[in-house]
Amino acid sequence: MSETIRISVDAMGGDKGPRVVVEGARLALKERKNTSFIFHGRQDQLDPLLAEFSDLKPVSTIHHCDTVILMDDKPSQALRKGRGTSSMWAALQSVKDGEADVAVSGGNTGALMAMATFCLRPIEGISRPAIAAIWPTLRSDIVVLDVGATIDDDARQLVDFSILGGALARALFDQDSPTVGLLNVGTEELKGLDHVKEAARVLAAAHDAGFTYYGFVEGDDIGKGTVDVVVTDGFTGNIALKTAEGTARQVGTYLRMALSADPMSRLGALLASRALNALRRKMDPRTVNGGVFLGLNGIVIKSHGGTDEIGVKSALGLAYEMARSRLMDKVAEGMRRFPRPLQATPVAALAPQPEAKPA
DSSP 55-93: TTGGGEEEEE--B---TT--HHHHHHHHTTTBHHHHHHH
Question: How far is 147 from 144, CA to CA, in rounded Å?
Answer: 7
C-alpha 315/C-alpha 41 separation (Å) is 18
- C-alpha angle 221/236/300, rounded to 5°? 95
Domains of the chain, CATH where assigned: 1-126+295-344 (3.40.50.10950), 130-287 (3.40.718.10)
Between 187 and 228, the higher pLDDT residue: 228
- pLDDT for the residue 339: 60
3-class DSSP assignment, residue 143? strand
Residues 6+ apart with CB under 8 A from 308: 16, 20, 24, 286
- Look at residue 301 and give its three-state secondary structure: strand
**For residue 356, pLDDT beyond 60:** no
Beta-carbon-side half-sphere exposure of residue 286 (alpha carbons within 13 Å): 13
Rounded CA separation 94/61 (Å) = 12
Q: Does the pLDDT at position 243 exceed 80?
A: yes
Residue ranges of alpha helices (H) inside 97-233 are 109-120, 155-173, 194-205, 219-224
Q: What is the pLDDT of residues 296-326, one digit of tens each?
A: 999 999 998 889 999 999 999 999 999 998 8
Cα 141 to the center of its chain, rounded Å: 13
191, 234 Cβ separation under 8 angstroms = no
Q: How far apart (Å, rounded) are the C-alpha atoms in residues 226 and 129?
A: 25
Of 139 and 335, which is predicted with more confidence? 139
Min mean pLDDT across 6-20, 243-257, 293-307, 344-358 is at: 344-358
pLDDT at res. 12: 95
Of 75 and 249, the structure prediction assigns the larger pLDDT to 75
Average the pLDDT over each of 116-125, 291-300, 313-322, 334-343 and give the range with the smallest value: 334-343
Residue 111 has pLDDT above 80, yes or no: yes
Query: What's the pLDDT score for residue 169?
Result: 92
For residue 19, give the nearest of 56, 70, 74, 65 by alpha carbon.
Answer: 56
Q: What is the pLDDT of residue 2?
A: 55
CA neighbor of 339 nearest in space, from 329, 349, 353: 349
Measured between alpha carbons, how far is 88 from 65 in angstroms, rounded to an integer? 9
Output the pTM of the full model. 0.84
Give the Cα separation of 191 and 109 in Å (integer): 32
What is the per-residue pLDDT across 244-272, written as a single tens digit (0 to 9) for each?
888 888 888 888 888 888 888 888 878 78
In the chain, which ranges are continuous DSSP H helix? 18-31, 43-51, 75-82, 87-96, 109-120, 155-173, 194-205, 219-224, 234-259, 263-271, 273-283, 309-324, 327-337, 341-344, 347-350
Share of the chain above pLDDT 70, in %: 93
Write out pLDDT tens, residues 139-186. Answer: 889 999 999 888 877 898 999 999 999 989 998 888 888 999 999 998
Q: Decide if pLDDT at 104 tops 80.
A: yes
Pairing of strands 229-231, 291-294: unpaired
Cα–Cα distance between 29 and 313 in angstroms, integer? 9
What pLDDT does 332 receive? 84
- What CA–CA distance (Å, rounded) separates 146 from 293? 9
